[in-house]
Amino acid sequence: MDEIPLVDLRAQYAAIRAEIQQAVARVLESQGFVMGPEVERLEKEIAGYVGTRHAVSCASGSDAILLSLMAAGVRAGHAVICPAYTFFATAGAVARLGARPVFADIDPATYNVAAGSVAAALGREPRVSAIMPVHLFGRTADVRSLESIASERGVPILEDAAQAIGARDEEGRAAGTLGRIACFSFFPSKNLGAYGDGGLLTTEDDELADRLRLLRSHGARPKYHHRVVGMNSRLDALQAAVLRVKLRHLDRWQEARRRNADHYDEMFFEAGAADSRSSLADGATLLVPARPRPPARHVFHQYVIRVPAKLRDPLRQYLRDSGIRTEVYYPVPLHMQECFAPLGYRPGDLSESEQASAETLALPIYPELTKEQRERVAGAVISYFRRSR
Ligand SMILES: *Cc1c(COP(=O)(O)O)cnc(C)c1O
């Protein structure tokens, strides 16, 4: 039986090959490789897609996070609140600036940072200069609640929207428009992925946009006259050309992700899975998060199920033996990472993040997944539970 990968970028490429080759050829003929007209057009098109005044591209999502913190004035000695259950880049950028990541716990119903935990951290920490929620797995964080917590102290919210291009919150507001600045990633496996690294920032604020543009090219204006110390973080024209082609297909791919998720949900609920309103302690073996209702829009960067910790890795092995690839996002919460040991966190400090790290498993959700493949994946998960009962 054919293996079902976690992500199948070859299937996507096969569907858009001619358009991509034409776009790449156009850049090769121009011999303009860094920034330039392709990049400017992409920035305008993404600003239009997200619905923001400014879009500033850069070299990666990780750089976007670093640039957003720099533009917001985060410096050595400051603290930045972010979730403990996310990709490393969120906190890594904070530490690289000599600031201290302060980890907040998550809401297990959404996997996003819990407003109450952020409020508690803000109460303890006098030097917080930014809060960075992450729209994890393609679902927006509760930025509305964070706003009311942060505004009293005048602390800006910076969105890590790396997994959430096109997502909308409960009020229908788009990811990328919720905070002072938002960070996107074009890593190949993201919903809008380049053919290499790439990233982008959005903001409504003219001054911040100007500052981001300055910071991404060594703080120089004009050339060779450096106003501030910035970095070299620019987007390649080849990546911009690829992304412009893919942006035209993005909504169709997002729809396909959602259709796949709905189908999985149906198959799992039919087989007796519970949603996240009940807890594992109630005896549910397979947990599928309750979905946000329109106008909210989940873009399913990942489709994540939750199972008892002792069954997670055996289930993963069983699926692998059945030719189905899965992944654990993320096996070690950030407060338990070796490099953050000096911060002094202990196991149990952020228990929801720790539990999610032990219990979640991401299944293939990519747009090109066929009905037969979805049935094979869900069927294998369900048959694992029937066998192990
Ligand atoms: C992918 C990702 C990043 C980093 O993006 P890169 O382009 O890989 O540097 C940051 N945060 C989150 C949540 C991500 O998923």
CA distance linking residue 64 with residue 68, whole number of Å:
6
Per-residue pLDDT at 241 exceeds 90: yes
In this prediction, residue 389 carries a pLDDT of: 60
Ligand 1 geometric centre to CA of 103 (Å): 17
pLDDT tier at 284, thresholds 50, 70, 90: confident
Per-residue pLDDT at 279 exceeds 80: no
DSSP-assigned letters across all residues of 57-74: EES-HHHHHHHHHHHTT-
pLDDT, tens digit (0-9, with 9 covering 90-100), for 78-118: 999 999 999 999 999 999 999 999 999 999 999 999 999 99
Instruction: Kindly give the number of the ligand 1 atom that is closest to the alpha carbon of 190.
Output: 1
In this prediction, residue 281 carries a pLDDT of: 61
Ligand 1 geometric centre to CA of 273 (Å): 30
User: Half-sphere exposure of residue 11, counting CA atoms within 13 Å on the CB side?
Assistant: 12
**Ligand 1 contact, 289 CB (< 6 A):** no
Mean per-residue pLDDT, 211-219: 97
- Quick one: tokens of 156? 């800006």
In this prediction, residue 282 carries a pLDDT of: 64
In this prediction, residue 280 carries a pLDDT of: 63
Q: Are the C-beta atoms of residues 99 and 75 closer than 8 Å to each other?
A: yes
Q: Which residues, listed in sequence order, are joined to residue 306 by a DSSP beta bridge? A: 287, 360
pLDDT tier at 262, thresholds 50, 70, 90: very high
**Ligand 1 contact, 159 CB (< 6 A):** no
pLDDT, tens digit (0-9, with 9 covering 90-100), for 17-28: 999 999 999 999
pLDDT tier at 294, thresholds 50, 70, 90: very high
CA distance linking residue 144 with residue 37, whole number of Å:
36
Instruction: Kindly give the number of the ligand 1 atom that is closest to the alpha carbon of 63.
Output: 9
Ligand 1 geometric centre to CA of 163 (Å): 7
**Ligand 1 contact, 138 CB (< 6 A):** no
Closest CA to 232 of 217, 222, 214, 215: 217
Least confident of 144-158, 251-265, 267-281: 267-281
Residue of 86, 87, 112, 181 to test ligand 1 pocket, by largest number of atoms within 8 Å of CB:
87
Mean per-residue pLDDT, 250-272: 95
pLDDT tier at 278, thresholds 50, 70, 90: low
pLDDT, tens digit (0-9, with 9 covering 90-100), for 357-376: 999 999 999 999 999 999 99
**Ligand 1 contact, 236 CB (< 6 A):** no
Full-model pTM: 0.97
Mean per-residue pLDDT, 156-170: 98
Ligand 1 geometric centre to CA of 83 (Å): 14
**Mean pLDDT over all residues of the chain?**
96
**Pure H helices in the chain:** 9-30, 37-50, 61-71, 89-96, 115-124, 143-151, 206-216, 237-247, 250-270, 309-321, 351-359, 371-388
